Chain A
């Protein structure tokens, strides 16, 4: 079990940093409450509306693009860990992977998915 102490320490430190920032911001931060800011909000949507109403698709597009690229780039980490063992083949394979990702990026760009 001792090899997991590092993981636990990571959790604790990450929690302390995140919690500390929230705490500091709420203690030291300047507060100018307004009507819009006090609304419970989610993705910029109107908090209360009847189903079937129109909603801005822009947020979802951005979120989907973020998930796509973010999740796929996660594969770089395990690859980097065993990079030396994989050798040349690993490099080529990662090149192919990033190439495919780049095609997706160009596709998103050329179809104006990145325009706001």
Chain B
């Protein structure tokens, strides 16, 4: 065993910043009574982590900690994305979380630790570190979902999420154990090498292990049939927490799926890289993606709660995002990364609007006649809804276009047709909200002075909304500017 050189710590600088800030917040937790301090700390740490991720990027990819952790273009992309989602979530939390029963320092510390876990997961080259990162994320998420202890539905959501989540983690762990049994290693490169040199692909032990691993990862991105937790967890959680789960957590899960597919099944052994994923892996992904798109789109039609609707929408979006990986080419992986990027910002924006509307934003009825009462909020919501549907010139169109283009190029015509057809169904889902906002009269003109008061947004929430809207628009018109640095693993 060779000792790890201390310089390897440089690979983990962004994670260390987030963990450091989380620990600092915990140390003073009992003295922080205002959300502002904790929010500022979190945003600062997120910004610093994003900047340092870009600034400390080496010329070529580097790995350390006995080949367990890497920095490359792929991990850099997702780390910046996760840091942005963290910062925006912290800004959006200002309005919702500053209530009696949630202590701001703990809340923000959990957000920071979850984000650190995600960053750790996206840069791991070994099943052990991948598991550690994902587990750190989900453990924090369980608590975040149930952080409003005084609300029974929040507790219920946390318990459901915890039970299903621990099953998924156990499956993942069992899959890891089986793969270790079949290959004698947990290192991606070593597994790939054994896979290319032996008949491991037909070894039932390895196949079962890979299947369990896929189930564990599908749970993290809430792909059908491992999606059941998402609507309940999002509904019970505070809106900013649901936003964080739907965006950062999903992006990290997608990154992990891509990393596993590319590093194990598509590796450069003897300097060569296979053109495509093996057909078994592609078929598995096709199944997950097709089911997610169909079920997510159709079940969303029946929802009357806005957060549940967005949960099913996020399930469908997970399916769309997987399309790029199915294509199996590097261009396909880059398409998925583009999708993840735009999806994160438009979803955060949608949740942001829900947050600004407070209790009214939770149900679909609350949007009735919004355009008359609060035209700016309604316009912003319309922009995000159009983007989620995938209508040009928004970022959502670009995202859907690139992933579908890549599967068509690789000859998955049926899948592409299905994706386009379901996107018509989702148009109905999202535009229903738009119809409620613009074509219905307000239920009752509330001349409540308190309502007018609460419509003045805190600066932090406005800033977050402005940034997500900006990226949704700019991404739709000049997609190249924002996603040119998406690099396949």
Listed in ascending order, the chain A residues whose CB lies under 8 Å from chain B are 82, 85-90, 92, 100, 103-104, 106-107, 110-111
Contact = CB atoms under 8 A, between A and B. Distances in A.
B3 A89 contact: yes
Interface string B18-55: 01000100110110000000000000000000000000
A110 B23 contact: no
Nearest to A99: B23
A87 to B, nearest CB: 5
A111 B29 contact: yes
A107 B110 CA distance: 14
B6 A111 contact: no
Contact of B1 (A85, A103, A106, A111): A85
DSSP class of A's interface residues: helix, strand, loop or mixed? helix
Nearest to A90: B3
Nearest to B7: A89
A107 B29 contact: yes
Contacts of B5: 89
A86 B29 contact: no
Contacts of A85: 1, 3
11 contacts: A82-B1, A86-B3, A87-B3, A89-B4, A89-B6, A90-B3, A92-B6, A103-B23, A110-B29, A111-B29, A111-B30
Contacts, number: 28
A103 B27 contact: yes
Given A87-B3, A110-B30, 4 more contacts: A100-B23, A103-B26, A110-B29, A111-B30
Contacts of A90: 3
Interface of B: 1, 3-6, 19, 23, 26-27, 29-30
A80 to B, nearest CB: 16
A107 B27 contact: yes
**8 tightest CB-CB pairs across the interface, nearest first?**
A110-B30, A103-B23, A107-B26, A89-B6, A87-B3, A111-B30, A89-B4, A103-B26
B5 to A, nearest CB: 7
Contacts of B3: 85-87, 89-90
A30 B27 CA distance: 48
Contacts of B29: 107, 110-111
B20 to A, nearest CB: 10
A104 B1 CA distance: 32
A55 B368 CA distance: 46
B12 to A, nearest CB: 11
A72 to B, nearest CB: 14
B16 to A, nearest CB: 9
A33 to B, nearest CB: 41
B327 to A, nearest CB: 41
A71 to B, nearest CB: 14
A106 to B, nearest CB: 6
A81 to B, nearest CB: 12
A86 B1 CA distance: 9
A85 B23 CA distance: 29
A68 to B, nearest CB: 13
Among B4, B26, B27, find the residue whose CB has the most chain A CB atoms closer than 10 A: B26
A107 B26 CA distance: 6
Nearest to A106: B27
A111 B6 CA distance: 35
A85 B1 CA distance: 8
A86 B65 CA distance: 12
A88 B6 contact: yes
A85 to B, nearest CB: 6
